[in-house]
Structure 1
Amino acid sequence: MNLPNEADFFGWVLYLLNKYGMIFLRGAGVTLMLALIGTLIGCIIGLLVGVLRTLPYNKKANPVFKILYKLLQFILAAYIEVFRGTPMIVQAMVLYYGSKQMFGVDMSAMFAGFFIVSINTGAYMAETVRGGIDSIDVGQTEAAKAIGMTHWQTMFSVIMPQTLRNILPQIGNNLIINIKDTSVLNIISVTELFFSGNSAAGAYFRYFEVFFIISVIYFIMTFTCSRLLRWMERKIDGSGYYSLVEIDMMADPCGHNPVKKHGGKQTWKK
């Protein structure tokens, strides 16, 4: 394929797609993998941290446990504030280069990418989970305790199923943000979509055309993920129309077997 004219924008777009299309697709695959796995691990971290931050403080507990409780809460709060209060690009530089310089840990760029996205997402998700737990009516926690459930049983059997539905939109937002924010990992040479596009643009100095292609690919990925997550929300919500059970097991106190209603009339078996 011959080189297009200098001013032929769409000609250059087609030429670059033809020559670097597979490179763009591989970069998009790395971006999706980093975002999906990083968001999944980050959600797990966020759930654990969020639940630990809601642990009740027992004033009558042993002084050692009180100290451990306060120390745990301080560490969790520091983790959240540090990773929410600094840019991911700075975190990538500090963790990737700092771990080697300070501790001699020579991690691969991809491992560092997964690690950075995961712990960054975990910090945001921890506050999302805490807010989701606080949004559940306190009466449900009191009712669970009244029937003898422990704090962990209450969390994972009563509170968390409702919390997960409430925070699902935020989980989707974090996934979409991570798809875009993985572009900062090019600073540590992770070959994601932005890195691939930057390499292709430098070959012919056609930055506008290349990054037009890159922006379209990013939009396709984020739009598709947002539609899939919206579909998942509707599936979890279920139908807006419900039909009542047609059999009332308590309708006859004499122990007769109830049968389904026919034509608006209740019939019975003896």
Structure 2
Amino acid sequence: MDFIELFRESFPSLLSGLTVTLKITALALVIATLLGLLFGLMSISNNKLLMFIARIYVDLIRGTPLIVQAFFIYFGLPTALDFKINAFSAGVAAVGINAGAYMVEIFRAGIMAVDKGQMEAARSLGLSYRKSMAKIILPQAVRKMIPAFINQFIISLKDTSILSVIGIRELTQSGEIIIASNYRAFETWGMIGIMYFVIIMLLSYTARSLERRLVI
């Protein structure tokens, strides 16, 4: 079997795995964005308890490997709390919670990068802290954070390869299944690497383009 024939036979399975990878990444980034916004606002709060909770979340998640978090969500929690969760949902949760800890710092840095005078001006006009943050500060902060968001998307995309350990048939496990049937590891892993490379380069180019246009 030459490489062209191998590629033709393997591509549908690899494309299916890539689709699962992208779905997990996209859903996880939605979760991560919500967690990042919530804990990011808590981390800059004047309330010491909220700041402490945000710091615990960030330190705990960033201080443990994603593979341990995936095992904990897929095997540990269901055993302890007596419920069932499918591998896909566990994978989305694991990547989302993991990325959320990094998004906290992205949100915090983005908000802190906005001139303090913006908040003072908004408050002097009679806006509450919540409205000032929602209408004045966050729109400016998000503009600065978009390149970092895309960089986190790239990192999370690569992190999904770890989820093969809990049985999710994403791109990496699709490749492992193909190799088990044809023993063409070099060519198969080469195709997988190229698929990751193309997607990540497209995202990297988008990040650089947005950075030139949006970061001020």
- The interval holding the TM-score normalised by the smaller chain is over 0.9
How far, CA to CA, are the matches of 2:208 and 2:19 in structure 1?
Answer: 22
Asked whether the 8 Å contact 1:99–1:106 carries over to 2, the reply is no
* Aligned with 1:146 (options 115, 124, 134): 124
Kindly state the Cα deviation for residue 34 of structure 1 after the two structures are TM-superposed: 0.9
> RCO higher in 1 or 2 (8 Å CA, sep ≥ 6)?
2
Alignment of 1:179 onto 2:169: no
Query: What is the TM-score when the length of structure 2 is the normalising length?
Result: 0.93
Cα 1:173–1:183 shift into 2, 3 Å: same
Asked whether the 8 Å contact 2:44–2:51 carries over to 1, the reply is no
- Which residue of structure 2 lines up, in the alignment, with residue 263 of structure 1? none
1:224-243 → structure 2 map (5 Å cutoff): 224-232=202-210
* Aligned with 1:156 (options 119, 127, 134): 134
1:94-243 → structure 2 map (5 Å cutoff): 94-232=72-210
Alignment of 1:25 onto 2:15: yes
Cα 1:235–1:37 shift into 2, 3 Å: farther
* Aligned with 1:54 (options 44, 48, 51): 44
User: Which structure 2 residue ranges, 5 or more long, are not aligned?
Assistant: none
Q: Report the residue type matching 1:49 in the other structure.
A: F
How far, CA to CA, are the matches of 2:142 and 2:185 in structure 1?
Answer: 42
Kindly state the Cα deviation for residue 78 of structure 1 after the two structures are TM-superposed: 0.8
Q: Report the residue type matching 2:33 in the other structure.
A: C
Asked whether the 8 Å contact 1:84–1:123 carries over to 2, the reply is yes
Q: Report the residue type matching 1:91 in the other structure.
A: Q
For residues 48-87 of structure 1, what are the alpha-carbon distances to aligned partners after superposition, in whole Å with 9 as ceiling and x for unaligned? 21122222x3xxxxxxxxxxx4333222211111111111
How far, CA to CA, are the matches of 1:17 and 1:95 in structure 2?
Answer: 35
How far, CA to CA, are the matches of 1:223 and 1:165 in structure 2?
Answer: 22
Asked whether the 8 Å contact 1:53–1:76 carries over to 2, the reply is yes
The DSSP-based 3-state class of the residue aligned with 2:102 is: helix
Asked whether the 8 Å contact 2:39–2:54 carries over to 1, the reply is yes
How far, CA to CA, are the matches of 2:68 and 2:15 in structure 1?
Answer: 27
How far, CA to CA, are the matches of 1:138 and 1:235 in structure 2?
Answer: 23
Kindly state the Cα deviation for residue 212 of structure 1 after the two structures are TM-superposed: 0.2
User: Which structure 1 residue ranges, 5 or more long, are not aligned?
Assistant: 4-10, 58-68, 238-270
- Report percent identity of matched pairs: 36
How far, CA to CA, are the matches of 2:160 and 2:8 in structure 1?
Answer: 25
Query: What is the TM-score when the length of structure 1 is the normalising length?
Result: 0.75
Kindly state the Cα deviation for residue 220 of structure 1 after the two structures are TM-superposed: 1.2
Kindly state the Cα deviation for residue 226 of structure 1 after the two structures are TM-superposed: 2.6
How far, CA to CA, are the matches of 1:207 and 1:234 in structure 2?
Answer: 40
For residues 132-152 of structure 1, what are the alpha-carbon distances to aligned partners after superposition, in whole Å with 9 as ceiling and x for unaligned? 111111111111111111111
Alignment of 1:77 onto 2:67: no
- The structure richer in helix per residue is 2
The DSSP-based 3-state class of the residue aligned with 2:149 is: helix
How far, CA to CA, are the matches of 2:31 and 2:210 in structure 1?
Answer: 19
Q: Report the residue type matching 2:24 in the other structure.
A: L
Q: Report the residue type matching 2:14 in the other structure.
A: F
Kindly state the Cα deviation for residue 16 of structure 1 after the two structures are TM-superposed: 2.1
1:238-253 → structure 2 map (5 Å cutoff): none
Aligned-pair RMSD on alpha carbons?
1.8
For residues 92-130 of structure 1, what are the alpha-carbon distances to aligned partners after superposition, in whole Å with 9 as ceiling and x for unaligned? 011111012211121000000111111111110011111
